[in-house]
Amino acid sequence: MKTVLMVAEKPSLAQALAKILSNSSMHSRKGSNSACSIHEYTGKFLGEPGVRFKMTSVCGHVMGLDFMGKYNSWDRVDPVELFRAPALKKESSPNLHMPKFLEREARGCDYLVLWLDCDKEGENICFEVIDAVKPAMNRPRGNEQIIFRAHFSAITDTDIKRAMNNLGEPNKNESDSVDARQELDLRIGCAFTRYQTKFFQGKYGDLDSTLISYGPCQTPTLGFCVERHDKIQSFKPEAFWVLQVPVTHPSGKTLHLEWDRVRLFDKEVAHMFLNIVKGNDQAKIVSVTKKEKSKSRPIALNTVEMLRTASSGLGMGPQYTMQMAERLYTQGYISYPRTETTHYPDNFDLRGTLKQQVGSSDWGNAVKELLAQGLEKPRKGADVGDHPPITPMRAATESELGHDPWRLYDYITRHFIATISPDCRYLQTTAHFEIGKEKFTCTGKTVIHPGYTAVMHWQAIVGDENLPPFEIGEVCIVDEVRLVEKQTSPPDYLTESELITLMEKHGIGTDASIPVHINNICERNYVNVIGGRKLKPTTLGIVLVHGYQKIDPDLVLPTMRSAVEKQLNLIATGKAHGDAVLQHGLDIFERKFKYFVHNILGMDELFEVSFSPLAASGKPLSRCGKCRRYMKFVQAKPSRLHCSSCDETYSLPQNGSIKLYKELKCPLDDFELVLWTTGSRGKSYPLCPYCYNNAPFRDMRKGMGCNECTHPTCIHSLGQNGVSGCVECDNGALVLDQTSAPKWRMACNKCNVVINFGEHIHKISVAEDSCEECDSAILDFAFNKAKSPLEDGATEHSGCIFCDPVLKPLVGIKYAAMKLARAGRGRGVRGRGGGRGRGRGRGRGRGKPKDKMAQLAAYFV
């Protein structure tokens, strides 16, 4: 029996595809990595019946580009080396073991069908999957094609089955263009980011940003925001004067006339015209023009327009909007949400798509009327050749989608209906008045046919634009003549919607990456989102852009990235070679980087007047082990300790609180220990600032606290407090938290597993012995006498928390409440029989020798 392996981009998508292709007769099982499932069924393939199908998925990219190990050290590598440093593909999510999972499922398979998203990133993932599975598949006979690509735009029975019957091949050129973009962004971004982060965070204490990053797309995006900020700051208001003349029509309606001169900037001239008009108490109608006009229905919806409207009309950020859209697509409610096309294909079933909305309580009546009168031909848009425009694929209600997804679906559906509805037609009436010799006008609109605005009601012509009937020669009474002084106003800060328009216009990013770039400048603390979803640059964002403009304006102008995107598109269309484009781009940016480094003091001058030096930042916290003076704790991101006497800065763990730990000192360097904690529901551990930045032993690395320190005798180290290997992750050790009393707990020093021991315990210590059954360390407990779980009121007990029948009920496994989400929670807690082991070799090293010299000898030998 032949076997076909099919791979989708997400687990939920694989399930939906398998359900359609198998007519809901599939059998499902969990994959070896626990994240992906395999859905199996039997069917026909390439005309051959009785073929076994296996549908599974990846979770986004299988591989990611990164530098070799030694080049990931910020301290030892000059950033300029990153332009030429060897880079290699690594697993994007090592915990998922995706290549191994795919290889296992591919064993014995004869064909591969790729159901990845139909865009450039999807093509790139196709070849990552091929590299993982091809060695394990059965060899083809002769030149037989065994790898196929499915092209689809919606998760519907019709689209999916059509795609299965019209399989193609993956596009290597598009995949190569993604590889080139990834390598360019990695090398350029890392080089600039490492250099300027180290340079400025080593000098200033109130930057309030963990990274001072540069990105070929991110920085021009920030540049647009700062450019608008600069226009606001440099704007000088100018006074002008306007004549306001309300008049009463014979019908009794009050009309507000508009002055034909609009406004005047000369006060004396404005007063002259005021006196001319004031001498008359009647406004005479000298002419009336009536003209039928129309508001054109919208063109079909693409990604950029969806993001624009969601931000300005629905108040949703671009990143959040794309998450909602992808969920709606995966569930089969809308077509593929990443597209640049605004023109429906000739074979697109507009009528069939519209019929699905007949039963809606919101727009059902409008749909029935449209079907009865006939559909309008959609306006001609741009056909980029990727995916059809975004359209609804089946009916939905708010109760089944949820509030925010429904609001987005509501807009997408209304937009689709509007594209095949008539234009809005209205009659525009303009009355021309004379007061003395000055001319005024009054304009109103009367709806003839609402057309598409019956569905897109926010674009409807409002009722107060209607005017009473006018006759030439008719006279209106002038109620009042006012000369009003006003001032020209500066432009407002860019809205997300306006920024998306600018990015699209200048070719910054793609429809898929635009939300990511906007989200990045927000997360880096370069801009803040204020009311109306406007983007206001922070001091850091402003200083960075002004610094780039001072040194090399190309670094922040959109023209550089736009040129790179055009070259990448040449790779995607097969008109240029990937390596040539990559080397050309890297050569240019390497020269720009060297020039930037040589002239960095020009940017530093701007930082000096905007931020405080490290020596003047922070509050005294702990003593330096070198000079014995107090070091200052700089709380602004990234939090760190600075010794102004030694002019040294020490990094600290982020996303938690830092406080002094009982004024205890590290036995190696005399630095006072500090305590990092995420609160009572999280994790805590002490650390030595010097050891955290300079690993004291060969088996340690930078960024390790006392709970990972291998010092043989220190009372805070892993050797003294380690209990067992972690019950969940592969490399962690469970370490007793000595700071957690009276609510004792131990926590993994790698992942966020926390084991609580309950209350009413006075003291817990780690004994020298280990459990004969599981090799975990024996713990000595001293209980509260009044609430001891022991018989006969005993208060002391020693045993293994995993095996001892008295202690086992005390153990409760939880996950630490972290300020930033961490991966690795989705796999469940493994039992003791899961083959992981809790040997003391995982957590504590071997048994402790009795005297100090023997301990040191045992450690180093």
Q: Which two tokens stand for residue 770?
A: 């280990």
CB 99 within 8 A of CB 62: yes
CA distance 291 to 563: 46
Positive or negative, the Cα torsion across 702, 706, 709, 713? positive
CA distance 164 to 168: 9
CA distance 332 to 400: 13
The secondary structure of the chain in percent helix, strand, coil, rounded to multiples of 5, reads: 35, 25, 40
CB 810 within 8 A of CB 758: yes
Q: Which two tokens stand for residue 361?
A: 């309580």
Q: Which residue has the tokens 């606290």?
A: 705
Strand, coil or helix: 284: strand
- Tell me: cis bond preceding 742? Omega within 30 of 0 counts: yes
Strand, coil or helix: 629: coil
Residue 736, beta-bridge partner list? 746
Q: Which residue from 436, 480, 466, 477 is spatially nearest to 250, judged by alpha carbons?
A: 477
Q: Which residue has the tokens 């449209």?
A: 370
DSSP-derived secondary structure letter, 194: H
CA angle 59, 60, 66 (to 5 degrees): 115
Q: Burial level of 312, CB count in 10 A (0-12/13-18/19+)?
A: middle
Active-site residue among 329, 333, 336, 409? 336
CA distance 173 to 573: 6
Q: Which residue from 608, 609, 593, 607 is spatially nearest to 547, judged by alpha carbons?
A: 607
CA distance 529 to 792: 64
Helix (H) / strand (E) element for 414: namely helix 403-419
CB 481 within 8 A of CB 245: yes
Q: What is the DSSP string of 583-635?
A: HHHHHHHHHHHHHHHHTHHHHHHHHHHHS-BGGGSSEEEEE-TTT-PEEEEE-
Residue 336 among the catalytic residues: yes
CA distance 199 to 396: 54
CB 558 within 8 A of CB 508: yes
Length of the chain as a residue count: 861
Q: Which residue has the tokens 């550089």?
A: 560
**Hey, which residues are catalytic here?**
336
